[in-house]
Amino acid sequence: MGWYNLNVLPDLNLGDVVHLRKPHPCGGYEWKVVRLGADIGLECVRCGRRVLLSRRELSHRMKSIIPRGPHDLPEV
Ligand SMILES: [Zn+2]
C-alpha cells in the first residue's frame, strides 16, 4: 500500500506552470508542462529549453504550481 508511490504529485495539466526551488542557469524559475506521461516534460518559460523529469524528481524539485486558466494573462 503506497501512500507515496505515484501520487506524490498533485494533478498537473498541460500548460500549467510549475515553480521550481532552484533556478535554471538562465535565471528562470518557471517551467511550463509540455508533456505528461511516466516522465514529465518541462519547458523553461524564460529560455525555452526542455527537460524531462520523472514524477518523483519533479515532486522533489517543485515548489508550487501556477495553474493556467483559459483567460489567464498572456505570457510575457
Ligand atoms: Zn532556462
**Residue 3 Cα, ligand 1 centroid: separation in angstroms?**
33
Cell 501520487 identifies what position? 7
**Residue 2 Cα, ligand 1 centroid: separation in angstroms?**
34
- The pLDDT of 58-68, averaged and rounded, is 87
Confidence of residue 3 (pLDDT cuts 50, 70, 90): very low
Whether residue 7 contacts residue 56, with contact meaning beta carbons closer than 8 Å, is answered with: no
**Residue 49 Cα, ligand 1 centroid: separation in angstroms?**
6
- The pLDDT of 49-64, averaged and rounded, is 93
**Residue 52 Cα, ligand 1 centroid: separation in angstroms?**
13
Cell of 50: 526542455
Per-residue pLDDT reduced to its tens digit, 15-54? 999 999 999 999 999 999 999 988 999 999 999 999 999 9
